[in-house]
Structure 1
Amino acid sequence: MANVSIARRYARALLDVASEAGRTDAVAEQLSAFASIFAKNPELSDVINNPAYTRTQVSQVVEGVMKAVPGGVDPVLASTLRLLVDRNRLPYLGDIARLFGDMADARAGRVRGRVTSAAPLPADALARLQQTLQQVTQRNVILETRVDPSLLGGVSAQVGSILYDGSLRTQLEEMRRELKQR
């Protein structure tokens, strides 16, 4: 619980500063990329999580990663990353990135969703599905697509915490349950 409250504090502060600068989406993208880099690289993850490394060593690693980013890091994010290093809060980077993205989406009236289908969906079908979900949720829906052949057919869509399941697999399972009850 303390981890989330600490991360929420930093995410909210970063969101306020990024919003004032009009750079919320750019900061969200870069922050997510940074969190992913540190999470996927065991050596970098060790540097930020292992107390054996000094603050100076951690700072040098973070500065090196920031310099390696093509086009440079947004100044708002660079300041935040330095602050996280100074306060030994860099291990919360993944939680901060997740919460920042959620808060930025909520502030912009967006909601993220995942569409899973048995085969890749044509662009026009995906656009119609997105439009329908936007009408149902009364929010701008950003969809991520996934292919899962085990669905057999149809589509399932999760928007926020709500699952709309129109997959053939689920329909067949429902029919099986009904037949067993008879």
Structure 2
Amino acid sequence: MTNTGIASRYAEALVEALIANQSANPSDDPLVILSGLNDFVAALSESRDLDLVLVSPSVSAERKRAVIAALSDRLGIHRLVRNFLFVLSDHRRLMLVREANQVAGVVLDEKLGFQRAVLTIASPLSEDEKNQIAGKLGEITGKRIRLNLELDLSLVGGVVARVGSTVYDGSVRGQLEVIGSRLAAG
């Protein structure tokens, strides 16, 4: 099994635990709890030494658990995510935490009825503009939309939305290309 497959299995198990926890504790928002995993991954990205300690075979499992517990306490990470990190560490799979984090976000979105959309923009958008675009994409797809924004100054203006494999090009660059194609065709 590939690392992607392994990370996916761990991520799916975490999401199942988050959903089960929400059933038992309705005030526990799985998205908020999962954000703790994002915080942990961000801390790893900020500290190469921390990353090396947690994946090094020369560091004892007990020491890794202590580091994970201390960092989890400092970041306010929910017990479910902390336990997930312990499981990854105990099975020597902590090097997959970044990939598991990405997969868990996607799987949780799917379980909660969200569709991810990548919105490429030429300049920053206001919250109102983001909400309007998400609303329109939601009407088109029939799902709640979670936007991921990417800045691309070559667009000149407008936006390009990618929802799954479908691309909606509302950029000035895209419109100019269409006009150019029409003029070239005669």
1:131 to 127, 131, 135: 135
RMSD: 2.1
Alpha-carbon distance in structure 1 between the residues aligned to 2:149 and 2:2: 33
Most deviating of 104-113 and 139-148 = 139-148
Alpha-carbon distance in structure 2 between the residues aligned to 1:156 and 1:90: 35
Alpha-carbon distance in structure 2 between the residues aligned to 1:123 and 1:25: 20
Decide whether the 8 Å contact of 2:37 with 2:77 is kept in 1. no
1:96 to 100, 103, 121: 100
2:63 to 31, 48, 57: 57
- Alignment gaps of 5+ in structure 2: 23-27
Equivalent position of 1:156 in the other structure: 160
Alpha-carbon distance in structure 1 between the residues aligned to 2:125 and 2:86: 43
Q: Deviation per CA, 1:95-147, whole angstroms, max 9, x where unpaired?
A: 11111111110001101223222233344433222111001111000223344
Equivalent position of 1:68 in the other structure: 74
Decide whether the 8 Å contact of 2:159 with 2:171 is kept in 1. yes
Q: Per the alignment, do residues 118 and 5 of structure 1 end up closer, same or farther by CA in structure 2, a change over 3 Å counting? A: closer
Decide whether the 8 Å contact of 2:157 with 2:172 is kept in 1. yes
Q: Per the alignment, do residues 144 and 99 of structure 1 end up closer, same or farther by CA in structure 2, a change over 3 Å counting? A: closer
Alpha-carbon distance in structure 1 between the residues aligned to 2:133 and 2:152: 17
1:36 to 42, 56, 65: 42
Q: Size of the alignment, in residue pairs?
A: 180
Alpha-carbon distance in structure 2 between the residues aligned to 1:5 and 1:93: 13
1:78 to 68, 82, 105: 82
Displacement of 1:179 in angstroms is 4.8
Decide whether the 8 Å contact of 2:68 with 2:82 is kept in 1. no
Decide whether the 8 Å contact of 1:153 with 1:167 is kept in 2. yes
Most deviating of 171-180 and 4-13 = 171-180
Q: When the two structures are superposed, what TM-score results if normalisation uses the length of structure 2?
A: 0.84
Q: Per the alignment, do residues 152 and 102 of structure 1 end up closer, same or farther by CA in structure 2, a change over 3 Å counting? A: same
Decide whether the 8 Å contact of 1:157 with 1:165 is kept in 2. yes
Q: When the two structures are superposed, what TM-score results if normalisation uses the length of structure 1?
A: 0.86
Decide whether the 8 Å contact of 2:55 with 2:92 is kept in 1. no
- Alignment gaps of 5+ in structure 1: none
